[in-house]
């Protein structure tokens, strides 16, 4: 069954420690993808998401520019990040593990997202929407994102562990009925 990602009600967020003290949070503003949700057999669901690397937004222009630079995402040479699922492991009525390959800077590594089905609802416009949230942690250095700076007091400027949180609202695309042939 075909589903559209409702971009206005979906988000890809991340957070990472700064100076080992505070969490810096950000989002990717531009991304797209396809999700083939199999309601009858969720284990057959597939996900393929492409993220525009230059759309990174942490609400601080200088930091965002640095994150787009060759020190991090190198958005000019590697304009997109991609997640493509390889397996869904159902963990109960509303939980699953979503296995897939994450590609950043042409380096592909496996990741596992913990996914929770938030439910479904019929909108006032007659469409049916489904909500999902997912999260994972990754070591950014596994994808070649190794830039850092040692702190005088010990530790480093940028944490290695990145928390990724995703919220998706999917809208079921109803099949169009074929028009009756006219004589």
> Is 179's pLDDT higher than 60?
no
Q: Any idea what the CATH number is for the domain that residue 71 is in?
A: 2.40.128.110
Within a domain: residue 183?
Answer: no
Within the chain, residue ranges assigned H as helices are 61-68
Q: How many domains does the chain have?
A: 1
State the chain's mean pLDDT as an integer. 91
Q: How far apart are CA 85 and CA 100, in angstroms?
A: 4
Within a domain: residue 130?
Answer: yes
Q: What is the pLDDT of residues 10-29, one digit of tens each?
A: 999 999 988 888 999 999 99
Within a domain: residue 102?
Answer: yes
Within a domain: residue 131?
Answer: yes
Domain membership of residue 23 as a residue range: 2-172
Structure tokens that stand for 86 in this block: 């390889």
Tell me which residue has tokens 């990724």: 164
> Is 150's pLDDT higher than 90?
no
3-state helix, strand, coil in the chain (%, to 5): 10, 55, 35
Within a domain: residue 30?
Answer: yes
> Is 154's pLDDT higher than 90?
no
Within a domain: residue 182?
Answer: no
**Residue 93: band (very low, low, confident or very high) from pLDDT cuts 50, 70, 90:** confident
**Residue 149: band (very low, low, confident or very high) from pLDDT cuts 50, 70, 90:** confident
CB contact at 8 A, 127 and 171: yes
């Amino acid at each position: 069954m075909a589903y559209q990602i409702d971009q206005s009600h979906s988000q890809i967020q991340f957070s990472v420690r700064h100076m080992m003290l505070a969490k810096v949070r950000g989002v990717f503003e531009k991304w797209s993808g396809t999700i083939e949700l199999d309601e009858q057999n969720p284990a057959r669901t597939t996900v393929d998401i492409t993220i525009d690397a230059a759309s990174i937004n942490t609400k601080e222009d200088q930091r965002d520019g640095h994150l787009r630079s060759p020190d991090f995402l190198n958005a000019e040479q590697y304009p997109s990040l991609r997640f493509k699922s390889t397996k869904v492991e159902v963990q109960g009525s509303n939980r699953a593990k979503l296995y897939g390959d994450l590609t950043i800077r042409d380096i592909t590594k496996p990741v596992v997202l913990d996914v929770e089905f938030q439910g479904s609802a019929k909108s006032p416009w007659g469409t049916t929407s489904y909500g999902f949230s997912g999260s994972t942690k990754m070591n950014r250095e596994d994808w070649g994102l190794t830039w850092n700076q040692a702190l005088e007091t010990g530790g480093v400027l940028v944490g290695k562990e990145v928390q990724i949180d995703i919220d998706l609202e999917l809208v079921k695309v109803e099949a169009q009925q074929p028009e009756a042939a006219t004589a």
